[in-house]
């Protein structure tokens, strides 16, 4: 099942996909173009991986990590499908990061790898924009890079785990203004989903709705105001986002 959160007619609604339209929880059937798309989940914690694809680490001239390189993100970074993300004035390089996002389904603490998928509610698409000008280095992403408001589009759908039988073999594709600029596959993650859940829950508790952003493959490109960026993951969804100008730093 594909579920969404949308704003429509003055309210916030949960909805499901139905023949190219949206069926709101109250039974109304509405056109996808008539709603404002919201992030499909409201997490308490957003965990994100750096350098979790060997080709991306090589692209940035770093060695592949020997253990997960992770950082926390503010939930206010999230914006929905068809939303806008600001490019700060004066920056020289801002790029997308197409990522499979894992949504936790129940309280998870000290979860063994062999049981990790039991704690997954489903999956969605994330685009975790980064601004290279602001990076301290790729091992310690700083606050201005990874906790910027509305700088991480998420959605459109939360796809149930049961409907994604092999999350470790999904194609990832990014297009800018219709031109493919990034391609990869989740099978190339250095640390797979069970390893990440086992790693994080060994020292912290994850709650329903919390997110793990699993990293991006190689193929970064600079984006400019006016660009439409589409990040797509096989079987999960196609997430659209537009870059707009911003005078703020």
Q: Is the pLDDT of residue 56 over 90?
A: no
Q: Greater confidence, 142 or 205?
A: 205
Closest CA to 124 of 96, 99, 89, 107: 99
* Lowest-pLDDT choice from 49-53, 110-114, 214-218, 238-242: 49-53
Task: Read off the DSSP letter of residue 186.
Answer: G
> pLDDT of 94-140, one tens digit each?
999 999 999 999 999 999 999 999 999 999 999 999 998 887 665 55
- On whether both 124 and 21 belong to a single domain, the answer is no
- On whether both 34 and 140 belong to a single domain, the answer is no
- On whether both 24 and 102 belong to a single domain, the answer is no
Task: Let me know the angle formed at the C-alpha of 74 by 11 and 5, rounded to the nearest 5 degrees.
Answer: 25
- On whether both 34 and 45 belong to a single domain, the answer is no
User: What is the band of 79 on the pLDDT scale with cuts at 50, 70, 90?
Assistant: very high
User: What is the band of 232 on the pLDDT scale with cuts at 50, 70, 90?
Assistant: very high
Burial call 204-226: b when 16+ CB within 10 Å, e when fewer: eebeebbbbbbbbbbbbeebeee
Please tell me the number of Cα atoms within 13 Å of 206 on its side-chain side.
Answer: 29
- On whether both 22 and 82 belong to a single domain, the answer is no
Q: Are 168 and 40 in contact (CB under 8 A)?
A: no
* Lowest-pLDDT choice from 12-21, 129-138, 182-191: 129-138
Give the rounded percent of residues in the chain with a pLDDT score beyond 70.
94
User: What is the band of 54 on the pLDDT scale with cuts at 50, 70, 90?
Assistant: confident
- On whether both 123 and 189 belong to a single domain, the answer is yes
Place of tokens 């007619």: 9
- On whether both 181 and 103 belong to a single domain, the answer is yes
Can you read off the two tokens belonging to residue 48?
A: 């994100």
Q: Is the pLDDT of residue 248 over 80?
A: no
Q: Are 126 and 81 in contact (CB under 8 A)?
A: no
- On whether both 25 and 89 belong to a single domain, the answer is no
- On whether both 185 and 113 belong to a single domain, the answer is yes
- On whether both 127 and 193 belong to a single domain, the answer is yes
pLDDT of residue 249: 53
Closest CA to 71 of 212, 177, 242, 234: 212
DSSP three-state, residue 81: coil
- On whether both 139 and 54 belong to a single domain, the answer is yes
Dihedral angle sign, alpha carbons of residues 79, 82, 5, 123: negative
> What's the domain range around 109?
41-246
Phi first, then psi, for residue 228 (nearest 5°) are: -105, 125
0.85 cut: is pTM over it? yes
Q: Are 67 and 231 in contact (CB under 8 A)?
A: no
Provide the CATH number for the domain around residue 221. Answer: 3.90.850.10
């Amino acid at each position: 099942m594909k579920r969404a959160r949308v704003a429509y007619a003055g309210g916030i609604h949960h909805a499901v996909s139905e023949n190219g339209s949206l069926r709101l929880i109250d039974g109304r059937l509405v056109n996808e173009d008539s709603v404002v798309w919201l992030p499909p989940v409201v997490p308490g914690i957003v965990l994100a991986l750096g350098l979790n694809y060997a080709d991306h680490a090589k692209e940035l001239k770093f060695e592949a990590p020997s253990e997960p390189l992770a950082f926390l993100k503010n939930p206010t970074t999230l914006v929905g499908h068809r939303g806008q993300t600001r490019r700060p004035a004066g920056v020289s390089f801002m790029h997308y990061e197409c990522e499979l996002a894992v949504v936790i389904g129940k309280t998870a603490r000290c979860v063994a790898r062999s049981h990790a998928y039991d704690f997954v509610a489903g999956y969605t698409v994330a685009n975790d924009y980064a601004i290279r000008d602001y990076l301290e280095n790729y091992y310690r992403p700083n606050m201005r890079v990874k906790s910027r408001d509305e700088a991480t589009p998420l959605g459109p759908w939360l796809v149930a785990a049961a409907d994604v039988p092999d999350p470790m073999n999904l194609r990832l594709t990014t297009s800018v203004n219709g031109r493919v600029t990034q391609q990869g596959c989740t099978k190339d993650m250095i640390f797979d989903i069970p390893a990440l859940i086992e790693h994080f829950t060994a020292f912290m508790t994850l709650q329903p709705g919390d997110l793990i952003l699993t990293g991006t493959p190689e193929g970064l490109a600079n984006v400019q105001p006016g660009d439409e960026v589409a990040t797509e993951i096989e079987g999960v969804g196609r997430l659209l986002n537009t870059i707009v100008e911003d005078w703020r730093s």
